[in-house]
Amino acid sequence: MPALVLLGAQWGDEGKGKATDLLGGSVDYVVRYQGGNNAGHTVVVGDQKYALHLLPSGILSPGCVPVIGNGVVVDPAVLLSELSGLEERGVDTSKLLISGNAHLITPYHTTMDKVTERFLGKRRIGTTGRGIGPTYADKINRVGIRVQDLFDESILTQKVEAALDQKNQILAKLYNRRAIAVEQVVEELLGYADALRGYVCDTTLLLNDALDQDKVVLFEGGQGTLLDVDHGTYPFVTSSNPTAGGACTGAGVGPTRIDRVIGILKAYTTRVGAGPFPTELFDEDGEKLRTIGGERGVTTGRDRRCGWFDAVIARYATRVNGLTDFFLTKLDVLTGWESIPVCVAYEIDGRRVTELPYNQTDFHHAKPVYEMLPGWSEDISGAKEFSDLPKNAQAYVKALEEMSGAPVSAIGVGPGRDETIQINSFL
């Protein structure tokens, strides 16, 4: 039975939450494998809207077990408040499982995130300020604190001491900030231990056993391909691997177990934070996409930068993730344009380039080469079948599919669960 990875094919906010929720009723486990509460995944069920940050979107589907894998960075305060927020709304959160190997975001990580951004000045990344980068840095530096450390006070104290020894020097001497007391951090962290204990287990063993028993496991990515620390627009990226390989390391399953990799692809492009974005619009078309598409960050409330669809990026996402399918979202937002530009290549210092340049400077110089596709004016939000779409909308989807290198298996025509055209089944 299948293991599926569902991930962002662009710079995040493609509609991963909606797509995961749509599949939630047919899968046994939904697993977050990287990132943390920098993510903001919106799920609309009937007249209810949920914004999930750390919890897998499968938590909203009764019968589905939500799992936070070892590759995720967990802010325990955020996790507990997200859980209680959902419980107040009548969502059963008792099935949640958390890897004991996941790293913890502590107050000093959020502090470091904010001060380093301030220090970078104009060169800042525009992070979400949630402590993501500093937590992954500590993990790689081997001075991180893991969920399992919450249950051993002596080890926890030693580890916080080791981490703060170094950080307090940096905070005081480089950033002119007050040192953070070890006891204060330990006490705060220990305060979360009892509430979290019941959720913690060996999620790697659990997921491999589940796959052995033919259960269906969905790995839900945070962020997107171009925000990947290895394959994205470095240094304007997040500090984890949202790409498909990240599902293996971030959940402890081998690549041979993954059957399908679904790229969530917006029918246009958005980006939050700094960094290159060749098709970005600074005119009224960009404003129109932002307004009609509701392009405002779920996590930080920042306006999203908006631009036309970029086929070079979509093709790159197919390549680095081995995509088997696309879920094309927000096609309804494009209703009302007479013609719609689609970026088919870049012009870089006089050369036409059709693959994403691996050289950072080249990418910063990339100018989009557009092909104009005819638009449509009919409301498509009620479309249930591909044939319900106006001819020009059908042609737009087919053109994107051709350029992007994988079949479009579903199309989003609105935020709701049922506002979806399913072309090929994912299961």
Annotate 306-319 with b (16+ C-beta within 10 A) or e (fewer): bbbbbbbbbbbbbe
Q: Does 332 bind ligand GDP (CB under 6 A)?
A: yes
- What residues numbered 366-405 form the site for Mg ion, per CB under 5 A? none
Among 251, 258, 272, 343, contact with ligand IMO (rule: CB under 6 A): 272
* Secondary structure (3-state) at 173: helix
Answer whether the bond into residue 56 is a cis peptide, omega within 30°.
no
Q: Does 227 bind ligand IMO (CB under 6 A)?
A: yes
Read out DSSP for 142-163?
Answer: T---BGGGGG-HHHHHHHHHHH
Q: Are 303 and 295 in contact (CB under 8 A)?
A: yes
Q: Count residues contacting ligand IMO (CB under 6 A)?
A: 23
> Could you confirm whether 41 is annotated as catalytic?
yes
Q: Does 44 bind ligand GDP (CB under 6 A)?
A: yes
Number of helices followed by number of strands (H, E) in the chain: 12, 20
Q: Does 77 bind ligand GDP (CB under 6 A)?
A: no
Q: Does 21 bind ligand GDP (CB under 6 A)?
A: no
Choose the stretch contacting ligand GDP; rule: CB under 6 A; options: 104-112, 145-153, 166-174, 330-338.
330-338
Query: Nearest approach, Cβ of 58 to Mg ion (angstroms)?
Result: 16
Query: Nearest approach, Cβ of 163 to ligand GDP (angstroms)?
Result: 30
Among 15, 40, 246, 412, contact with Mg ion (rule: CB under 5 A): 40
Sign of the alpha-carbon dihedral angle for 19, 25, 26, 32 = positive
- CB nearer Mg ion, residue 106 or residue 269: 269
Instruction: Give the separation between CA 374 and CA 328, rounded to whole angstroms.
Output: 18
Among 4, 35, 41, 130, contact with ligand GDP (rule: CB under 6 A): 41
Those residues with Cβ within 8 angstroms of residue 262's Cβ, 6 or more apart along the chain or in another chain: 4, 5, 6, 7, 19, 323, 324, 325, 326, 327, 409, 426
Smallest CA-to-CA distance from 100 within 58, 64, 72 is with: 72
Characterize the bridge pairing of strands 339-348 and 351-353: antiparallel
Among 56, 76, 144, 222, contact with ligand IMO (rule: CB under 6 A): 222
* Catalytic residue list: 13, 41
The footprint of Mg ion (CB under 5 A) covers 13, 40, 298
The footprint of ligand IMO (CB under 6 A) covers 8, 11-13, 38-41, 125-128, 130, 132-133, 222-224, 227, 238-239, 272-273
The footprint of ligand GDP (CB under 6 A) covers 8, 12-18, 40-42, 44, 294, 298, 329-330, 332-333, 412-415
